[in-house]
């Protein structure tokens, strides 16, 4: 286990806003889910705040080897296929939209793309189907094997830095990482000049406010799995705001990429589905305005 007392983006010392011992009953289910009960029995679930970066993060986090073990539960192909079968159709539509936008804004005829943290390959498979040269990384060995069997080129982090990509997809990953800046910097080195990177994370502006209030009131009613999801003990260890995500990108030498409104509108899918009709009109506007913690960035050309 590792103790982080400084902001993982700007490296400034950060102050705790909330702390409870892992031994209290309301945290026990989450402790059991971690599989690290013995190691954290005498430790504290502590949240720190970096005001300049607007980042909230857990002090106690897993080492690289512990992270790999956590995210590598054994799964066979049947388990992955079952997970695929349970996906709703609009989730596939979302991947299609994104790849169609990527194909329009990327200058390469066959974009070389990296899916960093691919899981069973939802995004990777869609990119492959739309003519991209697809590479992927995942710490789950069974997921990597499954994706490789479907034509996705699985590589290690050491391989990543020796390649150059037109686009890197980092979707729902940075919130899990002990050292998000160092990973972002390594990924930027693997981007071509002018190449694009998508950073997307959960966003929950109210949770830190509620945790800070709980510190003063002593009310532990918010310590349940659903409420704490965006700062789930040992799993979601970084909680980004839009400002924090931009701070991470700047520290990694990326500049924000203004997503074309009409390109997003044109990529809309499933217009005949009521849920998608609303999304196809509102989401391109949100993307263009740069709202939320779904943002695209570009590597500086020089």
Which of 154-158, 202-206, 218-222, 243-247 has the lowest average pLDDT? 218-222
pLDDT at 107 over 90: no
State the pLDDT at residue 3. Answer: 93
First CA to last CA across the chain, in angstroms?
39
pLDDT, tens only, 251-281: 999 999 988 899 999 999 999 988 888 889 8
**Mean pLDDT in residue range 180-191:** 96
Split at pLDDT 50, 70, 90, the class of 95 is: very high
Token pair listed for 144: 């990597």
| Lowest mean per-residue pLDDT among 1-5, 74-78, 82-86, 137-141 | 74-78
Residue 80 CB partners (closer than 8 Å, separation 6+) = 120, 142, 143, 146
Which overall architecture, per CATH, does domain 77-201+241-299 show? 3-Layer(aba) Sandwich (3.40)
Q: Report the pLDDT value the prediction gives residue 296, as an integer from 0 to 100.
A: 96
Residue 44 dihedral angles phi and psi, to the nearest 5°: -125, 135
Sole residue written with tokens 């790849």: 99
Residue closest to 27 by CA, chosen among 15, 237, 19: 19
Residue given tokens 């943290």 in the structure block: 117
- pLDDT of res. 22: 85
CA 114/CA 196 separation, integer angstroms: 11
Which tokens in the block code for residue 295?
């943002």
Greater confidence (179 vs 215) lies with: 179
Enumerate the domain spans of the chain.
Answer: 2-72+204-239, 77-201+241-299
């Amino acid at each position: 286990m590792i103790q982080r007392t400084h902001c993982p983006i700007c490296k400034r010392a950060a102050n705790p806003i909330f702390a409870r011992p892992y031994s209290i009953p309301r945290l026990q289910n989450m402790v059991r889910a971690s599989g690290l009960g013995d190691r954290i029995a005498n430790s504290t679930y502590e949240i720190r705040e970096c005001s300049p970066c607007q980042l909230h993060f857990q002090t106690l986090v897993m080492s690289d080897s512990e992270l790999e073990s956590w995210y590598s539960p054994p799964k066979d192909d049947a388990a992955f296929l079952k997970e695929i079968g349970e996906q709703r159709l609009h989730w596939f539509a979302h991947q299609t939209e994104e790849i169609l936008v990527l194909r329009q804004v990327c200058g390469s005829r066959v974009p070389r793309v990296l899916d960093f943290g691919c899981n069973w390959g939802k995004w990777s498979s869609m990119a492959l189907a739309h003519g991209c040269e697809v590479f992927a990384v995942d710490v789950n060995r069974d997921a990597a094997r499954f994706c490789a069997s479907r034509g996705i080129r699985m590589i290690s982090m050491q391989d990543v830095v020796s390649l150059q990509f037109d686009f890197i997809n980092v979707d729902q990953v940075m919130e899990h990482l002990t050292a998000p800046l160092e990973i972002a910097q390594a990924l930027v080195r693997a981007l071509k000049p002018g190449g694009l990177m998508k950073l997307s994370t959960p966003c929950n502006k109210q949770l830190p406010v509620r945790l800070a209030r709980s510190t003063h009131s002593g009310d532990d009613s918010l310590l349940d799995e659903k409420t704490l999801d965006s700062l789930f003990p040992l799993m979601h260890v970084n909680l980004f705001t839009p400002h924090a995500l931009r701070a991470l990108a700047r520290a990694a030498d990326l500049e924000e990429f203004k997503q074309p409104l009409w390109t997003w509108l044109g990529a809309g899918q499933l217009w005949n589905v009521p849920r998608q009709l609303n999304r196809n009109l509102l989401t391109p506007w949100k993307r263009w305005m740069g709202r939320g913690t779904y943002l695209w960035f570009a590597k500086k050309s020089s």
